[in-house]
Structures are given as structure tokens and as C-alpha cells.
Amino acid sequence: MQDRFINCIAQLPKPLSDALIPLLHENFAGHIDALQLAGLVKASGLTEEKLLLVLLPVAATLARPPISDFHVGAIAKGKSGDIYMGGNMELPGEALFHSVHAEQSAISHAWLSGETQIVDIVVNFSPCGHCRQFMNELVEGAQVRIHLPEQKTQPLTHYLPYAFGPSDLNVTAPLLSKQHHELSLDSSDPMIIEALDHASLSYAPYTRSFAAVVLQTKDGATYCGRYAENAAFNPSMLPMQMALSTMARHNRFFSEITRAVLIESAQGKISLVGATMDALHAVAAVELEHIVLEPV
């Protein structure tokens, strides 16, 4: 079991901790599949809803908040039945817009894992307005069920009435729906190919600035992030922030980054290079490789 989970495991009921410990191996980054979840329900004797609330301290352990020291954990349940944990992340000494909220971390975790719909969000503190707007961008986002400790489960519409969302801007394929944008680049570099694949799956209906970031660590592992825009613009999640959040979930230090690639489409209305470089230079002494793709 990873050392970072020792304290939170000690707080769980023993039947649950005994069943959970084998899952918290060195590669665990917050994903529990539907079969494993069913096993935890059986071992704990809890309902699934109660179990997910009890697991929130485990999700909060994934947080990395050096500015606020306020650990928030979130769990997104996909339509597949799998669950995806996330924690909030902040960059020390940097502007707050670089922060990733726990709900964003969990949702991006599910998206990168291939989920096409989120049905439940479980979180240990009431979602802020930023996160409510971010969730409203999802496929059938208004119907996502929000679970909070000691509160009645409610759909997102309860927390975000009279919402403004993708349909107001004539977007019919919301976040997490299947995306594929024709992007092409002649390269044999595996890291650039990975970035290209993720850029083609990115979500940028408002600017057409399809983009992705891939970070490589000294042991050759790679961590990716895709651009996820929002109808209200400000809750958009940048690919660098998503990639860094992915690293944090995998318990990697940003100082381990040895290479960073940003790929973005030239046809977009904006460029993410400035914000991407700002975030990268805050955490690692690495120069950004910036590749701009011309339309196919």
C-alpha cells in the first residue's frame, strides 16, 4: 500500500480497510472498477452511496494544495459503473487560475479513462460555482446526482438553477461525448504521437483550439491532459493543468518532469502556449516544446 494512504485507511471501518488495502498498490491513482466496487460494498456491508461517502478521505489524499492547505476529494461515477477519484491541486506561488478543483480532477480522470457520461459526483464539500458550471458542460450534466455528507442527494439543477450551458451556444456534443478532430503531423516520436491523439479528442467547441499536453518523467512515464472548454469560458480546464493533476493522482513530483510537449491547432481562435509555459516553469526547469498544427 502507498504510504500516502496510511492515515486515511486507519480511519475506515476494518472490514472496509481490509478489502481496500489490496487495491491501494503502488500504481493506484484513484480508479476502482465496477467489479471492485461491488466487492467493497459486499465487504463493508454499506450501501454503495454510503460507501462512496466513506471513501472521500481516500480521494482527498490525492489532493496537492500547497497554498490553501485545504484538501478536497471528489469521486465521479461513470455510466460504466467504475469510479474515478480526484483531488484539488494548486501551484505554489502561482496565480490561482492554475488551480484544479477536485471535481475537475475526478471528471478529467474519467474522461481520460474513456468514460462518455458521468452519473454521480460525490464530494466532501459543497461544489463551488466554478465546479457547478464545469459539471453543467457534461453530457446530461443537469441530471448528474450530487452526493454530499449529511445532505440529501440532488441533481445538479438543484445547485445550479437557470443554468447557462452548451445548448445556449448551439453545442450539441457536450463534454465527454465522443470527439474526433482531424489533426495530422508526420512524426515517429511516441510522445508527439500521444499528444496528437489526445489533441484530436479534446473539447474546444467555442474556440476550435484543439490542444493537448504530454509530460514525460525521468523514468520515461508519460502523463497527458486535453483541453476542456466551458460555455462560461472561465471554468475551462487547460491541458497542462489536467496533465499536472494526472501526475499528482499518480503520486509523482513535478520536479521529475524532463520533457513537456504542447500540441495545438492553428485554426483556433486562441493559443494556450503562454498559460502552458507559465504553469510548466512554475514547477519544472524544462523548456516547452510547442507544436502548432495546420488544418488538414
The amino acid sitting at 49 is E
Counted domains in the chain: 2
What residue numbers bound the domain in which 96 lies? 26-169
Give the active site residues: 103
Question: What per-residue confidence (pLDDT) applies to 184?
Answer: 84
CATH code, domain carrying 215 = 3.40.140.10
Rounded-to-10 torsion of CA 23, 25, 27, 33: 0
Residue 264 placed within a domain: yes
Residue 178 placed within a domain: no
Annotated binding site for substrate: 88-90
Annotated binding site for Zn(2+): 101, 128, 131
Question: What per-residue confidence (pLDDT) applies to 110?
Answer: 98
Annotated binding site: 88-90, 101, 128, 131
pTM of model > 0.75? yes
Question: What per-residue confidence (pLDDT) applies to 295?
Answer: 64
Residue 180 placed within a domain: no
Question: What per-residue confidence (pLDDT) applies to 182?
Answer: 87
Nearest to 135 by CA among 175, 77, 192: 175
Backbone φ, ψ for residue 147 (5° rounding) = -115, 125
Same domain? 59 vs 144: yes
- Residue 237, beta-bridge partner list: 228
Taking 70 as the pLDDT cut, the residues of the chain under it are: 295-296
Same domain? 30 vs 107: yes
